[in-house]
């Protein structure tokens, strides 16, 4: 029989990748193209030039940077907190402190007001919705500023009166069971992340369970799921649940049951719970 000769070429040891050819190697960092800087970083560079010491005495670009640090945008929602320069830098044809505006002149950016919220927040506070969050700003008697958050639903606006919207799929739908079981868990973590007031969290959790119950889900199972995820996330509202003055917050599931039984009512005009070191166990 003829003998077939095979040439075995040396390669890298098993488990190691061969070296890249020179054409695929990245150039040194100094030769890489520099990415375009975001607006705030550009403003920061301008602020460093205008105010090298960082003490804000120039009152120019450094002051604009500080003001825009609390200005956020998501798609068509623009939130500006304590930004007195926003009206001077809205359109591209505006100039201030060596910078031009943000948006084209064809885009009309009008300030919004929400008078219906004034009757739903504590006295002496200001509220502003942003996406699904209601920001509540107030000043304490000692002069400190406080910002707390609640869940905000646009359907509370008068323009949506009489509009019927379905938030969740029904329990008898053809969607797979795993997706339907995870509805409550996903919504729980959403509430935990966006709501700072523990009382509002309990209230909205009860509303969530009530809404899912109306869609055919078992209330008993939802309450068990709530207890399970609370046990799995002990860091959720940990300080509020460990207070000496309000021991009822140690059992959030019990408070949710009270809301579901209509033995507890949410007072949106109540001052949020003040957290200090003396409130801890």
Q: Supply the DSSP string of 212-270, one letter for each residue.
A: HHHTT--HHHHHHHHHHHHHH-TTTTHHHHTBSS-GGGG-HHHHHHHHHTTSS---TTS
Least trusted range by pLDDT, from 58-62, 166-170, 179-183, 210-214? 58-62
CB neighbour class for 69 (10 Å; exposed up to 12, middle 13-18, buried from 19): middle
Average pLDDT over residues 68-88: 82
Average pLDDT over residues 188-205: 93
Using the structure block, give the residue that is written with the tokens 């460093």. 48
* Reduced DSSP (H G I as helix, E B as strand, rest coil) percent helix, strand, coil of the chain, to 5: 40, 10, 50
- The pLDDT of residue 275: 53
Average pLDDT over residues 55-84: 76
Report how many helices (DSSP H) and strands (DSSP E) the chain contains, helices first.
Answer: 7, 7
pLDDT, the chain, mean = 76
Judged against a pLDDT cut of 50, whether residue 8 lies above it is answered with no
Judged against a pLDDT cut of 80, whether residue 29 lies above it is answered with no
Least trusted range by pLDDT, from 8-22, 135-149, 198-212, 251-265? 8-22
Closest CA to 117 of 147, 145, 154: 154
Joined together, the tokens standing for residue 220 give 């008993």
Instruction: Return the domain boundaries, the chain.
Output: 39-100, 115-149, 168-270
Distances, alpha carbon 274 to alpha carbons 43, 141, 193, 240, in Å = 36, 12, 19, 9
Cβ–Cβ contacts within 10 Å for residue 29, how many?
6
- The pLDDT of residue 142: 79
Distances, alpha carbon 25 to alpha carbons 13, 19, 20, 22, 108, in Å = 21, 10, 7, 5, 48
Q: Which residue has the higher pLDDT, 192 or 124?
A: 192
Average pLDDT over residues 185-195: 93
Q: Which residue has the higher pLDDT, 20 or 235?
A: 235
């Amino acid at each position: 029989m003829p003998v077939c000769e095979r040439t075995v070429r040396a390669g890298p040891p098993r488990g190691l990748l061969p070296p890249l050819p020179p054409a695929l190697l990245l150039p040194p960092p100094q030769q890489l193209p520099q990415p375009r800087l975001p607006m705030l970083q550009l403003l920061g560079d301008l602020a460093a030039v205008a105010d090298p010491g960082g003490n804000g005495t120039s009152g120019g670009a450094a002051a604009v940077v500080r003001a825009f640090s609390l200005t956020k945008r998501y798609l068509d929602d623009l939130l500006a907190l304590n930004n007195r320069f926003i009206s001077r830098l809205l359109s591209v044809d505006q100039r201030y402190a060596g910078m031009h505006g943000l948006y084209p002149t064809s885009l009309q950016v009008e300030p919004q007001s929400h008078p219906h919220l004034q009757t739903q927040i504590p006295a002496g506070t200001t509220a502003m919705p942003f996406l699904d969050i209601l920001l509540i700003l107030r000043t304490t008697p000692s002069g400190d500023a406080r910002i707390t958050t609640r869940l905000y639903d646009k359907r509370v606006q008068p323009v949506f009166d009489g509009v019927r919207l379905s938030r969740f799929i029904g329990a008898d739908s053809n969607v797979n069971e795993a997706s339907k079981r995870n509805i409550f868990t996903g919504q729980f973590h959403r509430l935990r992340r966006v709501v700072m007031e523990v009382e509002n969290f309990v209230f909205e959790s009860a509303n969530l369970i009530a809404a899912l119950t109306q869609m055919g889900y078992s209330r008993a199972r939802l309450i068990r799921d709530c207890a399970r995820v609370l046990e799995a996330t002990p860091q959720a509202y940990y300080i509020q649940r460990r207070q000496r003055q309000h021991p009822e917050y140690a059992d959030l599931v019990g408070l949710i049951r009270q809301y579901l039984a209509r033995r507890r009512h949410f007072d949106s005009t109540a001052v949020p719970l003040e957290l200090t070191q003396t409130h801890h166990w």
